[in-house]
Structure 1
Amino acid sequence: MPAHTPIAVRRRSLLTAAVLASGLGLTTASPATARHRHRTAGYVLPAPTGPARLGTVALHLVDTTRTDPWVPAHPAREIMIQIWYPARHTHGHPAAPWLSPGAVPHFTEVFGLPADRVRATLTHARQSPPLDRKAGGHPVVLYSPGLGGDRGTSTALVEELAGHGYIVVTIDHTHDASEVEFPDGRIAVSTIPPDLDDTVIAQAAAVREADTRFVLDQLAALDAGRNPDAGGRRLPHGLRGAFDLHRIGMFGHSLGGSTAAAAMRHDRRLKAGVNLDGTLVGAAAVAGCDRPFLLLSSDRGPGADDPTWNTFWTGHRGWKRQLTLAGSTHASFNDGEVLYPQAAEALGLTPEQLAEMLGTLDPSRAVTLQRTYLRAFFDQHLRHGDSRLLRGPHPRHPEIRFVR
């Protein structure tokens, strides 16, 4: 990969599918044509492979110790999280939408996908069924999306972990995320300046780390039987005592991966972390720590020649591994890998344009490999397993290249 200045590396690494889509002209009149062709059918997410039924619930959290850093007039920092968990049963509980209905209009304007199909897209989880209790609680994994991404933008990966017995908590970083819908119907859109520079990205990184530490505090409250939801909305039965707070990991895409690294540096409650193709931003993120961390890059970077990854590698004292997913791009590590191939015909995307966005690796194969190695990592480091997949190249997975 050719050399880049630190700012250029960061900008490229923090791109989301939204930027790619707008560059291909997908935020024009194309969605209207797609609405005519597809009135009710939603996009299909890959089914999780685990045995567990899935439940999910969204919580509105308010941090009264902070004003909103992006909108200082707001007296407190408000965020939304979503908890994904193994359910005891799901009968009588409706399927959860991929995106909350009020967020759909703004999302589709930004990302270029037809609103009716996004609105009709369902997850494999049901809304608020009772949790399947387990002695000692379930291991917990937090997820932080890329800059501008919503909490649901890696649902394919999140559901896979939940289907295998993890509780996964996804975070909406308000006013960084493209849009966030609150329970009272308010829609908070991104206020990140369009002209990214190091100062703006550093601020976003710091805000995200603070959000993460606040969420960890609220998980402790939930586990103790308290309800931190700002509106006091009813929680699914069984959340009390369901979180194994001694086994918490975190993963993220792009700036979300950097967030995982920074949060691990400062908060020992996090035991293992994964960065999916994100340049590391800030001193805490590049410093490393003494707990396991996985770096997984696309073919196009950041990669071993990113100075932030090299600095991290030198300073990190815990278990570490760096892998590359051959045939992928930066946008391969979220649900765009699933959605855009299904939308390609309606949006007028040529095969060449789709490959430019998502790479040459078959999308279903890309998702399968990400799921496989993400779960192998957390199984090894949160469940004390010994995954052979992480020892070296595997003949059944030649697309995963071991860098170091």
Structure 2
Amino acid sequence: MTNQLPRERRRVTPRRALAACAVAALCTLTAALPAAADTRAAPAPSSAQPLSLPAPSGRYRVGEVNLHLVDHSRPDPWHAGKVRHELMASVYYPAAHTAGHPPAPYMLPAAAAHFDDVTADGYLDLHVPAGRADWARTVTHVTRSAPVAAGRGGRLPVVLYSPGLGEPRTWGTTLAADLAGRGYAVVTVDNTYESPEVEFPDGSLATLALPSDHDAFVRKALDVRVADTGFVLDQLQELNSGRNPDADGQPLPKGLVGALDVTEVGMFGHSMGGTAAALAMDADHRISAGIDMDGNLTNLDGSLMPVARHGLDRPFLFMGKDGTTDTGPGWQAFRAHTPGWNRQLTLLGSEHSSFTDAEALVPQLRLRPCERAHDIGTIDPATAIRTNEAYVSAYFDHWLRGGSGRLLEGPSPRYPDMVFVK
């Protein structure tokens, strides 16, 4: 099966088909979609529209570097013939200055072409015909490999980001860059052969390995994400000590070594990435605070995941979409079994993708009103972005930096669209 299937064969079911119980509205996955492959793809046509993300709202400009991480102790979990497991990650951080450094691309060329042809209108169900958007030229307001600015106390709190199933790590750039502009090092991770497309430094592309058994796939994917999270944390400790992973074939940014505070780490994620944040916290006490954005804590058969059955001994925040949702049983069980700090918030007028870059990019894609509402709800996009940024930053400021946390205690007149669930 090739990557160039006709569109009418690729798009056959709504994206809730795979994980209606396990993760709310994750992606479209069907047997007609292309199988996993290492391949190369052509860039988007020049007539495609370049898009733009909002500028980070923090005091710092933002730099970024890609890391090629290789786990020699673990064979690839999705391909028996591969004796090592490779990942790609991006580190967003506050930049001392950006002069003389190029803009960071939103997606690399092969990944952008695959996202355009398969992921956007397939896995993410965004109603975007191939060739309409130039994902590689999307403006990020992030600079490649700029020197690092010293954080508070000289070190940067580390926060990990895990994307949803069927989403690339870049789909969380708005929130990652905004946190970095506030003085954090934010590490976004692609889980190879489970992320829709992962481009490596040599230009090769690893694409999603499709499931034949959906329940087994989701359970395995979560296990792999937990293991990948521990490995990434190990690699960040190595990097911070001067034993550097491959920075996408480039030198690490000046000032990055030694700048990371890896003693207390935060983690957040969207959809299955939010599920992974809870499970990774349960498995690794290096993660001291987490956020789940609309990710379920039940399995496909409706059974509770272990973390929902026994809760956590560290703070955890749920941020959910408006309206009917299937996250209820898992979230309720988790909160009932977590005696310590936890909160549940609902963003009024939002949809499942409102916690991702879709909120910023979909309004630029000239969709019909019904399609736009399906993708990102009815909330004003700028309001949704500003509200999400405020609560995510307030949460990590409180638990990783000792900030007041006042915004997390109850409704705020500044953000009337965020509702606290008792």
Letter in 2 for 1:15: L
Alpha-carbon distance in structure 2 between the residues aligned to 1:94 and 1:240? 21
Query: Could you say if the C-alpha distance between residues 379 and 196 of structure 1 is closer, same or farther in structure 2, counting changes exceeding 3 Å?
Result: farther
Q: Which has the higher helix share?
A: 1
TM-score by length of 1: 0.88
Any conservation in 2 of the 1:285–1:312 contact (CA below 8 Å)? yes
Q: Tell me the SS of whatever aligns to 1:117.
A: strand
Distance 1:118 1:294 in 2: 31
* Matching residue of 1:90: 98
What is the CA-CA distance between 1:300 and the residue it aligns to? 3.6
Q: Does 1:226 align with 2:234?
A: no
Q: Structure 2: which amino acid aligns with 1:383?
A: R
Which runs of structure 2 are paired with 1:287-306 in the superposition (5 Å)? Answer: 287-300=310-323, 302=325, 306=328
Where does residue 324 of structure 1 map in the other structure? Answer: 346
TM-score in terms of structure 2 length: 0.84
* Aligned: 1:265 with 2:294: no
Whether the 8 Å contact between 1:145 and 1:153 is mirrored in structure 2 is yes
> How many angstroms apart in 1 are the aligned matches of 2:221 and 2:184?
28
Q: Deviations over 1:208-258 (max 9, x none)?
A: 111101000001001111112287642111112101112310000000001
Tell me which amino acid in the other structure corresponds to 1:283: P
Hey, what does 2:141 align to over in structure 1?
Answer: 124
Moved more, 117-126 or 326-335: 117-126
Q: Choose from 50, 54, 60 the match for 1:52.
A: 60
Paired amino acid for 1:337: E
* 2:375 aligned with 1:353: no
Could you say which residue in structure 2 is the equivalent of 1:161? 179
**Amino acid across the alignment from 1:291:** R
Asked if 1:283 corresponds to 2:300, the answer is: no
Partner Cα separation in structure 1 for residue 409 and residue 341 of structure 2: 12
CA distance in 2, matches of 1:14, 1:68: 27
> Retained in 1: the 8 A contact 2:54–2:140?
no
Q: Deviations over 1:56-93 (max 9, x none)?
A: 00010011121111112111110000000011111110
| Inter-partner Cα distance in structure 2 for 1:353 and 1:180 | 28
Deviation at 1:337, TM superposition (A): 1.5
Amino acid at match of 2:89: I
Offset at residue 149 of structure 1 (A): 1.1
Q: Which amino acid in structure 1 is aligned with residue 72 of structure 2?
A: T
> Partner residue of 2:362?
340
> Greater CA deviation, 81-90 or 274-283?
274-283
Does structure 1 retain, via aligned residues, the 8 Å contact 2:19–2:25?
A: no
Aligned ranges 1:174-323 → 2 under 5 Å: 174-193=192-211, 197-229=214-246, 233-281=250-298, 282-284=305-307, 287-300=310-323, 302=325, 306-323=328-345
Aligned to 1:402: 420
TM-superposed CA distance for 1:200, in Å, is 1.2
Any unmatched runs of 5+ in structure 2? 1-15, 33-43, 122-127, 299-304
Cα distance change on mapping 1:230 and 1:129 into 2, 3 Å: closer
CA contact 2:19–2:26 (8 Å) conserved in 1 = no
What SS does structure 1 have at the residue aligned with 2:318?
strand
**Secondary structure of 1:51's aligned partner:** coil
Q: Distance in 2 between matches of 1:302 and 1:272?
A: 24
**How far does residue 51 in structure 1 lie from its aligned partner after superposition?**
1.2
Q: Is the 8 A contact 1:62 1:230 kept in 2?
A: no
Alpha-carbon distance between aligned partners in 1 of 2:219 and 2:290, rounded to the nearest angstrom:
20
Give me the whole-angstrom Cα distance separating, in 2, the residues matched to 1:220 and 1:243: 8
Matches of 1:285 and 1:240, distance apart in 2: 37
Distance of 1:373 and 1:287 partners within structure 2: 26
Q: CA deviation at 1:126?
A: 0.8
Q: CA deviation at 1:49?
A: 0.8
State the partner residue of 2:388: 370
**Aligned partners of 1:14 and 1:146 also within 8 Å:** no
Do 2:162 and 2:268's aligned partners in 1 also have CA atoms closer than 8 Å? yes
Match of 1:10 in 2: 22
What code does the residue aligned with 1:254 have? S
1:202, CA displacement in angstroms?
Answer: 0.6
Q: CA deviation at 1:42?
A: 1.5
Identify the residue that residue 84 of structure 2 maps to in structure 1: 76
Deviation >6 Å, runs of 4+: none
The 3-state SS of whatever aligns with 2:141 is strand
- The answer on whether the counterparts of 2:308 and 2:333 sit within 8 Å (CA) in structure 1 is no
Query: 2:169 touches 2:189 (CA, 8 Å); kept in 1?
Result: yes
Instruction: Report what 2:402 is aligned to.
Output: 384
Contact (CA 8 Å) 1:40, 1:120: kept in 2 or not? no
SS of 2:104's partner is strand
| Contact 1:301–1:330 (CA under 8 A) maintained in structure 2 | no
Distance (whole Å) between structure 1 residues aligned to residue 49 and residue 248 of structure 2: 33
Instruction: Assess if the C-alpha contact under 8 Å between 2:272 and 2:295 holds in 1.
Output: yes
- Structure 1: stretches of 5+ with no match in the other structure: 23-33
Change (3 A) 1:124 1:223: same
The letter of the residue matching 2:66 is A
- Which letter maps to 1:204? A
CA distance in 1, matches of 2:234, 2:340: 24
| Equivalent residue, structure 2, for 1:31 | none
The 8 Å contact of residues 130 and 238 in structure 1, kept in 2 or not, is answered as yes
**Stretch of structure 1 that moved more, 310-319 or 215-224:** 310-319
More displaced 10-residue stretch of structure 1: 237-246 or 206-215:
237-246
Q: CA deviation at 1:285?
A: 5.8
Q: Distance in 1 between matches of 2:78 and 2:354?
A: 28
**Superposition CA RMSD, Å:** 2.3
Aligned residues: 377
Letter in 1 for 2:21: V
**How far apart in 1 are the matches of 2:48 and 2:202?**
26
